[in-house]
Amino acid sequence: MAGLCYEELPVGLVIDHEIRRTVTEMDNTLFSALCYNCAPLHIDAEYAKNSIYGQRLVNSMFLLALVCGVIVIDSTIGTTLGNLGLDEIKFPNPVFHGDTIHVRTEVLERRLSKKRTDSGIVTFRHVGYNQRNEVVCECKRVGLMLTLAAYKELKDKIKAGEAAAAKA
C-alpha cells in the first residue's frame, strides 16, 4: 500500500481518515512511562480526582503522536522522506480514557524542493476529534514527499533488489 506522492497532494485536498482509535488507560500509562512523563495528572488516579477534570488526562504527546500516526496509511506511507517540522500544535479539549479519536487532514501548501530533485515540501493541517466531534488536537506538519517519478524509481530498485536476492 502506498501513500500519496507530491503531485497527488494538491492544496485544498481534504482526507477524512477511516482509522479511528479508542484511547485506553494502558496507552496513556505506557506512553507516559516510556517518555518519563510522571505528571500525576496522567498516571495517578487519586491525584486526578481532585483536578479540574476529576479524572486522569491522556498525555497530550501521545495524542499528538496518535493524530500524526493515523494519517500515515491514507496519505504518506512509503512516500514521505521525513518530517521537517510541526507547528501551531494545540489541544483545545481534553482526552480521557475511552475517548475515540478520528482525524482529518488538509493540504495547506506545497512546493517543489529547492535542494532535491526527487521531492516536494507539503504543509498539512491535521485535526483530531473525539467521538463528540470536539477538536482535541490540531497541528501543522511539514513533510518532504517523494514525487511520482522518484517513487516509481524507488519501487523499481526494490523489485530489482528482490529479484537479485532471489537468484542468489
Q: What is the CATH number of the domain that holds 70?
A: 3.10.129.10
pLDDT at position 1, please? Answer: 52
Task: Note whether residue 1 is domain-resident.
Answer: no
Task: Note whether residue 158 is domain-resident.
Answer: yes
Smallest Cα–Cα separation from 5: which of 104, 76, 99, 84?
76
pLDDT at position 89, please? Answer: 98
pLDDT at position 84, please? Answer: 97
Task: Note whether residue 159 is domain-resident.
Answer: yes
As averages over each run of 10 residues, the pLDDT of the chain (168 residues) reads 90 97 97 94 96 97 97 94 97 98 98 96 98 98 97 90 84
3-state secondary structure of 120: strand
Contact 72, 45 (CB under 8 A): no
pLDDT at position 46, please? Answer: 96
Task: Note whether residue 108 is domain-resident.
Answer: yes
**Containing structural domain, residue 113:** 6-167
Task: Note whether residue 124 is domain-resident.
Answer: yes
Q: How many domains does the chain have?
A: 1
C-alpha–C-alpha distance, residues 116 and 141, integer Å: 19
C-alpha–C-alpha distance, residues 164 and 167, integer Å: 5
Task: Note whether residue 153 is domain-resident.
Answer: yes
Contact 11, 108 (CB under 8 A): yes
Could you tell me the maximum CA-CA distance found in the chain, to the nearest angstrom?
Answer: 66
